[in-house]
Amino acid sequence: MPDTTNATTSLALDENLSLGTGASLWTTHVVEAASIPALKLTDGPHGLRGQGSDDDHLGLAESTSATCFPTASVLASSWDVGLLVEVGEAIGREVVDQDVNVVLGPGVNMKRTPLCGRNFEYFSEGPPLPGKLAAAWIRGVQSTGTGTSVKHFALNSQELRRMTTDVRVDQRALHEYYPPAFEITVKKAEPTTVMSSYNRVEGVYSGENPLACRHPARQVGVPRVIVTDWGAMNDRAAAYAAGLDLEMPGNRGASDEEVRATVRSCRLDESAIDASIERMRELARRTTERPAVTRDGLYDRHHQLARRAALESGVLLKNDGGLLSLAPGSKIALIGALAATLRYQGTGSSRVNPTRVVSLRDGLRAQVGVEYAPGYPIADEANDELVLRAVDLTGRAERVIVCVGLTDDFEREGFDREHMRIPANQIALLDALRPFADRVAIVLVGGSAVEMPWEESASALLHMQLAGQAGGQAAADLLVGAANPTGKIAESYPVVYEDVVSAGRFGIEAEQTPYLESMYCGYRYFDSAQYPFGHGLSYTTFEYSDLRVARRGDHLVEVSVTIANTGERAGAEAVQLYVAPQSGGVYRPVHELNAFTKVPLAPGESRTVSLSLGRRTFAVYDPQREDWIVEAGQYELRVGASSRDIRLRETVEIAGRAPVPHTVSPWYTAPQGKPALEDFLPIHEPFPIVEPLRKGTFGLNSSLSEMKDASMACRVIHAGVERTVAKAFGGKIDHDNPQFKMLMYSVTGLPMRGWRG
């Protein structure tokens, strides 16, 4: 009689393994024996990207129509938790309408540098803001029965060799700066899945790294599925052991045998796979049992919500002489190709096919009369004739709106920005308009910070960033005064890129990326900025008063403050609470944002708001103890309108252990103000920097882009791939074409292991 025990076990294991990889690019397998249906996962941090084509994960092909909401970088500028819930609910309803189970978002990675190519998908440079806003977005989405995937955990901050680079980071930054936003999100919202990043962390890929997989940012609360970013799986057996559940996309079972062999050799306990199956079963339960939505008027209502979200997130950076809002009956000129061809979202895997798009030109014409001139072409090409026509129009107008900013050529997934400048032809236009600065207002678009040497060409500056399909209407509402700006920027805008702590090193480390600056990013590093973190003006004024501090134990503090609208317009103020240690001790930033709230107020109205601080506010991570500790001493509580506009202060005494003097040279106070490798090594123990592979030494984690110059054969293969990619662009090899560049990067940057299956 044949032995069926092993066959039965093998069959069960095979079914379990099938559930751990995708059936296709976007779907999981059906496992009838476990009563688990196929699930569909789709991109969508700021709107659903339902793919009609199953072989496109870069956003190159047309997707099904959905509402394109403002990107995360914009929504963060609202500082409005309630608004994020509403946007999440709307996206969730569209996901249900289009029969998707899990929407892949939001992205809560810290903005380590303004040059990261995907910064438009991320909220902020400070952990509390993205954590609380992402949690609100997730609660909204998941209230519809739709799943979410908070991403990309961990330490995803560059596009350069994003699938293989090895991030080296000290323990304090790893606990205090980069993961807290994920931890806040998971605690407050319980997302159904967490997505692992492509990169390695301390030499081990994120998806199989216990340091990452078992971090509290992933494990707090109910069991949740951990899914790879698309194509990020390196060693599936090691990933199971670390707690990862789902490899996406499918690889036709290519990795199944590797796992079977590991189970047979007892190097992987099958219980790890069984536990994964239970998490997949829970994911299916949470994302398939949901009510249908009523489609009538759904997308029209969501367009209006997208308009309101953009309106509440628009940031008035400058308004000299009260140039804005526009006076009724003014003779208005509108200049800028981006005013007619609105850039309202990023490019890449998050690209949404909108239900409609309203440009700034159309939005303004619906409310006031305007005369339009393009001023420059979208491509960064000089055109003196367009500039002369714009100058002529400006000279005849009473008020001039100029729309400039980053184009798709300068900012998209797939590659990092090379600098912080807007296109040169736009700068040439602004230089030509400088004599008319007293009548010019700029509308700025783009997904990340830019240098502004041209700022003196205008008296007002309204930053709309990437404001979604209704961004043109929202900008028009703010320009004409139909609404009052209430947004505040959620990242620092340095005067020049060289002010950024990682300038001079970012983009040059391909194999390894040491975070020499530790936790000192954005406002935590530099105080001098073109526009500081949290800055934003209004058409009204606000007064802060009556700061009160109440103790609720050794480490629990309640802060209350009264905010009054002292102007003549209804408005809303984003109140920010920063904590500044005063008693020395271990190295840490001068102050950090720890709490915030947004307060809507009618003219003459005042309200008292409360902000709570817990133990983690005052704690630092102790690598020796592997625990959080509070240093005793004085902490100044700073309430203000931005990181540099502090209105009220109060000092509290906090109990804890005696402060420990600095044990590391504080490079951040040195004249040069930039970290070097010798500053990093003492705080990076016990994980020493390792030497990268010798040039010409390749393995499964090597990519074609790394190998192309190693031999004639590799160069021939690379050239063949280049010709194949060019077929999608009419056979033309065009490295200046950003879509060609993005696709080439994706294909040639894929590690050899990614070609299996």
Classified as helix, coil or strand, 708 is coil
Q: Please state, in angstroms and as integers, the Cα–Cα distance from residue 449 to each residue in 54, 443, 523, 594, 659, following that order.
A: 34, 14, 13, 22, 37
What secondary structure does DSSP assign to 658-692, as a single string? PPPPP-S--GGGSSS----HHHHHHHHTTS---PP
Alpha-carbon distance of 110 to 121, in angstroms, equals 11
Peptide bond into 223 cis (omega under 30): no
Classified as helix, coil or strand, 373 is strand
Neighbours of 18 (CB within 10 A): 17
**Paired tokens of 96:** 């249900």
Say if CB 590 and CB 526 are below 8 A apart: no
Alpha-carbon distance of 354 to 345, in angstroms, equals 10
Alpha-carbon distance of 535 to 162, in angstroms, equals 32
Alpha-carbon distance of 71 to 663, in angstroms, equals 41
**Paired tokens of 421:** 């400048």
Alpha-carbon distance of 225 to 238, in angstroms, equals 16
Handedness of CA 85, 86, 92, 93 (dihedral sign): positive
φ/ψ of 89, rounded to 5, equals -60, -45
Alpha-carbon distance of 309 to 312, in angstroms, equals 5
For every residue of 206-259, which 3-state class applies, written as one string? HHHCHHHHCCHHHHCCCCCEEEECCCCCCCHHHHHHHCCCEECCCCCCCCHHHH
Neighbours of 437 (CB within 10 A): 17
**Paired tokens of 511:** 């194999």
Alpha-carbon distance of 468 to 470, in angstroms, equals 6
What letters, b where the CB count within 10 A reaches 16 and e where it falls short, cover 459-481?
Answer: bbbbbbbbbbbbbbbbbbbbbbb
Classified as helix, coil or strand, 426 is helix
Which burial class, exposed, middle or buried, applies to 8 when counting CB atoms under 10 A from its CB (0-12, 13-18, 19+)?
exposed
Peptide bond into 490 cis (omega under 30): no
Residues classed as catalytic: 229
Which residue carries 């979200």 as its tokens?
309
Classified as helix, coil or strand, 312 is helix
Q: Please state, in angstroms and as integers, the Cα–Cα distance from residue 101 to each residue in 145, 219, 230, 288, 565, following that order.
A: 8, 22, 17, 7, 44
Say if CB 540 and CB 484 are below 8 A apart: yes
**Paired tokens of 739:** 């879509």
